[in-house]
Amino acid sequence: LTYNFSNCDFNKIRVEYDQIIFSDLKKYMNGTKSTQFNYNISCNNPPDCLTEIQRVTFSPTHGCTSLHKEMFAVKTKATLTLQCPGYSGIQINNTQAKKNRKKREVTTNKCLKQASQLLGLWRRFSRIKGN
Amino acid sequence: GESGYAQNGDLEDAESDDYSFSCYSQLEVNGSRHSLTCAFDDLDINSTNLEFQICESLVEVNCLNFNKLQEIYFIETNKFLLIGDSKICVKLGEKSITCKKMNIVNIVKPEAPFDIRVIYREGAKDFVVTFNTSHLQKMYVKNLIHNVAYRPEKDENNWMHVNLSGTKLTLLQRKLQPDAMYEIKVRSIPSTYFEGFWSEWSPSYHFRTPEKNSAGEMG
């Protein structure tokens, strides 16, 4: 399910990230050094950044299938739903997620790496002006 | 607020009674748990069998029921999403009598500041006022406006006010009455993104200003 983020209210998303989501993301990363992972995902403009943020947040990957359940992810979905007309959020492929659940508990480091990519993507989104 | 859903039958008197209510939230009031407190505006209302419920913008649940403590309805939870409006309803059994749409981040009442102190600096001829607030350690409601109020004790209604965002303030000696006992207190209100109400006042602190010496100066 792909969505075009061009019509979102980027300023409101920035404020909600800054005031709400950032705290939860930092809490999730608690104890992880910012230098522990290097950022290898970037984005060029606000819609592009939100596309990447959604992908990294909600698409289960090998070794990290449950990031979407974390508080910061739930709130990311809420702000995208609120500030992006027509956005209905990604329907997680539950069968895929359930199958890998046991692995997720062992390899949370992969989730931390993904979360640190999100920090980079959100920081980039917050800095790129343009509405 | 949203109009009530008063029906006929046992809710006949619901039509005449005013079930308007007000609420305030306190974020991270107990670790990462938030609280929401509601009460009827009309204190004389017969609240027997009336319950409060919040729905929407919650994590993992659709609705939460309030606990009732005398005439106050209260929830403590970490399930507030803090994004988007919630719907708070007064319920009689399963019937909603009246509902209101509220956003938890817009009805924040900060915790009262504390530990207000005043130190006199003879050299600088001023008083340094400091106080503390639990909001410095919070994740969300970090930015507040603090309202410091002070008055000579014998001048009941002569409160002077200073608003500041920090927790330190200087009062010039020459701006105060000499040889007088002063009372000082402080309260806080959210200032960035979060909105809401003044906190309760901190406990007051009392201090005395020096007498005037022969040269007409205090000290």
* pLDDT 10s digits, A87-128: 874 444 433 444 444 444 444 788 999 999 999 999 999 998
Burial class (CB in 10 A: 0-12, 13-18, 19+), B141: buried
Q: What is the DSSP string of chain A?
A: ----GGGS-HHHHHHHIIIIIHHHHHHHTTT--TTSS------SSHHHHHHHHHHHHHS-BTTB--GGGSHHHHHHHHHHHHHSTT-------HHHHHHTHHHHHHTHHHHHHHHHHHHHHHHHHHH----
Distance CA A91, CA B207 (A): 63
Residue in A closest to B142 by C-alpha: A19
Q: How far apart are CA A108 and CA A114, in angstroms?
A: 10
Q: What pTM did the predictor assign?
A: 0.86
First to last CA, chain B: 58
d(CA A57, CA B30): 29
ipTM value for the complex: 0.81
| The pLDDT of residue B13 | 54
Residue ranges of chain B with per-residue pLDDT less than 70:
1-16, 213-219
Which residues of chain B lie closer than 8 angstroms to A82, CB-CB?
Answer: 83-84
Assign 3-class secondary structure to B5-18.
CCCCHHHHHHCCCC
Residue B115 in tokens: 């530990």
pLDDT score for A131 = 52
Check CB contact of A71 with chain B, cutoff 8 Å: yes
Write the pLDDT tens digit of every residue in A19-53.
Answer: 999 999 999 988 777 667 777 778 999 999 999 99
Mean pLDDT to the nearest integer, A14-18:
96
Point out the residue among A19, A74, A81 whose CB comes nearest to the CB of B140: A19
Percent pLDDT > 70 in chain A is 79
> CA-to-CA distance for B179 and A84, rounded, in angstroms?
63
| DSSP strands (E only) in chain B | 21-30, 33-40, 50-55, 63-65, 67-69, 72-77, 86-92, 95-102, 114-121, 126-132, 144-152, 160-164, 168-172, 181-190, 205-208
Contacts of A102 by beta carbon, 8 Å cutoff, 6+ apart: none
How far is the C-alpha of B125 from the C-alpha of B44, rounded, in Å?
53
Those residues with Cβ within 8 angstroms of residue A55's Cβ, 6 or more apart along the chain or in another chain: none
By residue count, chain A amounts to: 131
Nearest CA in chain B to A83: B84
Q: Do B84 and A82 touch (CB under 8 A)?
A: yes
Look at A27 and B139 and tell me if their CB atoms are within 8 Å.
Answer: yes
Instruction: Identify the contact set of chain B against chain A, taking CB-CB distances under 8 A.
Output: 32, 57, 59, 81-84, 105, 139-140, 192-194
> A with B: how many residue pairs have Cβ under 8 Å apart?
32
Give the torsion through C-alpha atoms of B33, B96, B56, A7, to 10 deg: -140
Which whole-number Å values give the CA distances from B196 to A12, B33, B64, B191, in the listed order? Answer: 19, 18, 22, 9
Locus of tokens 């009455």:
B177
Helix boundaries (H) for chain B: none
Q: What confidence tier does A1 reach under pLDDT thresholds 50, 70, 90? A: low
